[in-house]
Amino acid sequence: MNATEIAEAIEILAEQPFDAAEFPYAFLEAFGRKPTEIKRLRSGNTNKSDLGGVLQRNHIHIAVTAPGEVTHTLTALRDSPATAKAKAKFILATDGDMLEAQDLASGDILSCPYPEFAEKFGFFLPLAGITTIPQLRESSFDIRATRLFNKLYLELLQDNPDWDTAARRADMNHFMARLIFCFYAEDTSIFHPSYPFTGTVEKMSERDSSNTHEVIAELFRAMNTRKENHEAQGIKSWARPFPYVNGGLFGGSLDVPRFNKSARNYLIHIGGLNWTKINPDIFGSMIQAVADDEERGALGMHYTSVPNILKVLNPLFLDDLRAKLEEAGDNKVKLLNLRKRMAKIRVFDPACGSGNFLVIAYKEMRKIEAEINQRRDETDRASDIPLTNFRGIELRDFPAEIARLALIIAEFQSDVLYRGQKLALAEFLPLDAQNWIVQGNALRLDWLTVCEPTGKGGGKIFADDLYGAPLDQAKIDFENEGGETYICGNPPYIGATTKAPKGASKETKARLKREAEMRKADLEAVFRGRIDAWKSLDYVCGWLMKAADYGKVENSAAAFVSTNSICQGEQVFRFWPSIIKDQLRINFAVTSFSWKNLAAKNAGVTVCIVGISRQSGMAKLYSGKDDTVRDVPNINAYLVPYHDVYVENKSKPIQGLQAVVNGSKPADGGGLIFDADIAHQLRSEAGEEFQVIRPFFGAHDATHGEGRYCIWASKAQYEALKDLPGFQKRFDIVAEMRNESDKELTKAGADSPYAFQQVRQRGNETVFQIPRHSSEEREFFPVATLPKGAIVGDGGFAFFDPPLWNIAVLVSKVALSWIATVCGKIKTDYRFSNTLGWNTLPVPPLTEKNKADLSYCAEKILLAREAYFPATIAELYDAEKMDEQFPELRDAHAANDEVLERIYIGRRFKNDTERLEKLFELYTKMTGKKAA
């Protein structure tokens, strides 16, 4: 369930008469607990309450009490041993009159009259697994408003099918934005309190809703007509008290869709909410989903939390402004200069969505300005920061509309906060008529026409020249001589390839493919002629490239939240050399952290933040893991504090190591791989004559020592076995999957369903398996030995008959830190690659003695593992167990690292930073490249 669904369920519950016996179950149901869970609780099987209430393990302890006993009961719940034992997150007591609850993790207490708890449902959201964004818990208003808007929107579209066309969606979106403005305006005295918007609509429209659209249209007409013209234009007398708003908001078509009865009810209900509680940033990200069929289910998926936004904005420019404020102290001239500077700062988000970044940037700058004005005793002074300096580009119409509205609301809120309601109101209307949020495709638009160059120079000519063809021109032209421009945002994260979900329909697949093609064309428009392999770049690279281009003309700096893969593996050397040049460099970065949004299920994505500018001096490197900062001389494209080095993939090891090969890829839909039972059956079916079943190891199989089996047959063997029922079943699975595939190679393989798509196995050698993916929690790469004749699947790499000293290198800390840095990753876990990591690993020249010493170390490691038989690789290399349970193995690895690192620098490395510095240094020497 998502937050709006919960809001709805809770509202329904609160409206019903209180039923003491049913309440706990109804409550749990409203938060999305499954009917089977609730059934088991009812039967008492899983109910652990020791107070006659309902206690669900890991969730909540609820007790319904006698009248007046609520507070007392809450204390009893808190002290109950059962509460602690079941690890309840919440306790809740109610008598149907009052309701009290506590979040045991934070200690926060909720206490309110029973009927009001529906408004406070945000408090309990962690129960539904929505725990990650604290702001959401305080945003009950935004969720409820969004839910009702959702209903209204769908109701209107259903009743006005002509508005549900591509051509009119923009009108519809514009209409919704006007409504939001009116609701906000009537609750904040922007409209005169005696003439409320909702009240007027309710009063003037028929109860059967028939003329609702006419009433609203008349009100909109009033807001689009200057006061002095109201009479001449024949505005109805009841609409005349409404002010002239315009600002583009009420320009254009003033058509209003028809309202049926329930639409009218929703409208009145929404108007009844308290709109002063709106959070422009959160509300925007939620409401934008309303107009998007795809996103409606995944509410808030585009929300970037305020702390995450500040991770971009603070290092980009806000920290500097604050430092300058600090520096200025009470010096009025310095303060004035800072204010003048701020008035010319433009913040530009070329992927602005509903304007989160712009709103937060605006609010933070107003905060600084307010401090300046206070120190200069000018607290009444109107803000010098023009709202129009907060520019954006957004592809979708509705969010673009909302972004402008969110900024308008943020401006009003800031005025109220720093200058008082009276001054805020006096200067608020009419709105500025200019539209400074551009609806368009950011990768196609010429950014210089959205943010005109501040000095002299032919921006447009430059841009045409650069991209080979004229770009779309937005033509926003404001004076801003001598200003600074800060580009920021959270562009869409789309990798070079995306996987369609397994069960996706043909239509879904086709749509995804179409979208992918459009994005490719966008990237081509940016990169054609500059980077050959543009098709393998993430979509965000387009934004970074355009920001870099913009920076060549304009005094600007840019920072984006980005998929972390642009700073890993193959994208690094493909992409970054085009960015880091001409004095442009990474002047700050936040390393990988996992993304959070408002959706109940967070997108499983790991991101980083990269800031680029021409600023020299020290760079700031923030850790995404622990929020620490380091001042470093340079940050390279791997987000490592070292010179700019690019490690390119190599097809063979460049340092005399033996080649590691990929495991064999089945591409079989699971047909060729099976467990021991099936293997047994197939063996007896085939008989002694046919030895076609072999042990098969993926990474999991090898690290957990379990192993599956696979069919490993020749064509002749296949012909002989294919009609046996057991075998036929396996081959059918393979043929079917391959026939359905879009990939030519796979399709072709449907004719030979006995064979793996890619075969790397050779004979019956000793084989070590290196997992393709391994958890970053491990201190050593869990390389495993496999039984003879085993097949290495494509979950890993195979090392056939390796010299033991190669194994010593492979399992060393040196190799691991190199792999961790220059290979790709999955989330933040290691992803081994032979071409990127192994073949490029810098190793100093080794004497025979060195090799013998290393071989001895490898042997000791293998012996130590055997000594702990039957512990699996997974257990042996569990960082938490190693010290206590497997000390010999730990010692053997320590000895191995000691010997190897002495070869590198004559002693152990102090830490990974030192390891990497040495490795990059050697790599630079080895490849004859100069460190920049």
Nearer to DNA, 777 or 891 (CB): 777
- Residue 16 beta carbon to DNA: minimum distance, rounded to whole angstroms: 27
Q: Which stretch binds DNA (CB under 7 A): 61-69, 117-125, 243-251, 794-802?
A: 794-802
Nearer to DNA, 518 or 629 (CB): 518
| Placement of tokens 């000793």 in the chain | 766
**Residue numbers 395-454 binding DNA by CB under 7 A:** none
Nearer to DNA, 643 or 760 (CB): 760
Alpha-carbon torsion angle 326, 551, 932, 541, nearest 10: 110
Q: With binding defined as CB under 7 A, does residue 806 bind DNA?
A: no
**Residue from the set 392, 399, 611, 796 that interacts with DNA by CB under 7 A:** 796
Q: Which stretch binds DNA (CB under 7 A): 409-417, 455-463, 550-558, 830-838?
A: 830-838
State whether residue 476 is helix, strand or coil. Answer: coil
Q: Which stretch binds DNA (CB under 7 A): 158-166, 817-825, 884-892, 908-916?
A: 817-825
Q: With binding defined as CB under 7 A, does residue 455 bind DNA?
A: no
- Residue 322 beta carbon to DNA: minimum distance, rounded to whole angstroms: 28
Alpha-carbon torsion angle 104, 105, 109, 113, nearest 10: -70
**Residue from the set 707, 771, 802, 842 that interacts with DNA by CB under 7 A:** 771
Q: Which stretch binds DNA (CB under 7 A): 9-17, 272-280, 552-560, 733-741?
A: 733-741
State both tokens at 417. Answer: 């906060």
790 phi-psi bin (left φ>0, alpha ψ -120 to 50, beta other): beta
153 and 293 in contact (C-beta within 8 Å)?
no
Distance CA 478, CA 484 (A): 13
Nearer to DNA, 56 or 94 (CB): 56
**Residue from the set 82, 268, 429, 605 that interacts with DNA by CB under 7 A:** 605
**Residue numbers 839-878 binding DNA by CB under 7 A:** 874
What is the full DSSP assignment across 638-707? TS-SSS-------SS-SSSPPP-EEPBB--STTSSEE-HHHHHHHHHHH-TT---EEEEE-HHHHHTT--
Residues 6+ apart with CB under 8 A from 343: 384, 385, 386, 389
How many amino acids of this chain bind DNA (CB under 7 A)? Answer: 88
State both tokens at 733. Answer: 């699975």
- Residue 873 beta carbon to DNA: minimum distance, rounded to whole angstroms: 8
Q: With binding defined as CB under 7 A, does residue 730 bind DNA?
A: no
State whether residue 750 is helix, strand or coil. Answer: helix
**Residue from the set 423, 429, 826, 926 that interacts with DNA by CB under 7 A:** 826
**Residue numbers 249-278 binding DNA by CB under 7 A:** none
Q: Which stretch binds DNA (CB under 7 A): 322-330, 443-451, 485-493, 709-717?
A: 485-493
**Residue numbers 611-670 binding DNA by CB under 7 A:** 649, 651, 661-662, 665-670
Q: Which stretch binds DNA (CB under 7 A): 9-17, 112-120, 398-406, 698-706?
A: 698-706
**Residue from the set 623, 775, 855, 885 that interacts with DNA by CB under 7 A:** 775
**Cis? peptide before 386, omega within 30° of 0:** no
Taking CA 436 as the corner, what is the angle to CA 430 and CA 439, rounded to the nearest 5 degrees?
A: 125
Distance CA 382, CA 55 (A): 56
Distance CA 357, CA 410 (A): 12
Amino acid at residue number 440:
G
- Residue 793 beta carbon to DNA: minimum distance, rounded to whole angstroms: 6
Q: Which of 900, 908, 907, 871 is nearest to 886 (CA)?
A: 871
**Residue numbers 306-365 binding DNA by CB under 7 A:** none
15 phi/psi in degrees, rounded to 5: -75, -25
Taking CA 488 as the corner, what is the angle to CA 487 and CA 489, rounded to the nearest 5 degrees?
A: 145
Nearer to DNA, 184 or 575 (CB): 575
Q: With binding defined as CB under 7 A, does residue 493 bind DNA?
A: yes
State both tokens at 599. Answer: 């959706």
Contact mark string toward DNA, 296..315, x via CB under 7 A: -----xx-------------
Contact mark string toward DNA, 104..143, x via CB under 7 A: -------------------------x--------------
Nearer to DNA, 323 or 759 (CB): 759
Nearer to DNA, 160 or 835 (CB): 835
**Residue numbers 873-892 binding DNA by CB under 7 A:** 874
Nearer to DNA, 355 or 483 (CB): 355
Nearer to DNA, 24 or 707 (CB): 707
- Residue 822 beta carbon to DNA: minimum distance, rounded to whole angstroms: 9
Half-sphere exposure of 306 (CA within 13 A, CB side): 14
Alpha-carbon torsion angle 330, 331, 337, 341, nearest 10: -30
**Residue numbers 536-575 binding DNA by CB under 7 A:** 536, 538, 563-565, 568-571, 574
Taking CA 872 as the corner, what is the angle to CA 869 and CA 876, rounded to the nearest 5 degrees?
A: 90
- Residue 747 beta carbon to DNA: minimum distance, rounded to whole angstroms: 8
Q: Which stretch binds DNA (CB under 7 A): 269-277, 434-442, 461-469, 829-837?
A: 829-837
Alpha-carbon torsion angle 308, 314, 317, 319, nearest 10: 180
Element (H, E) at 925: helix 912-927
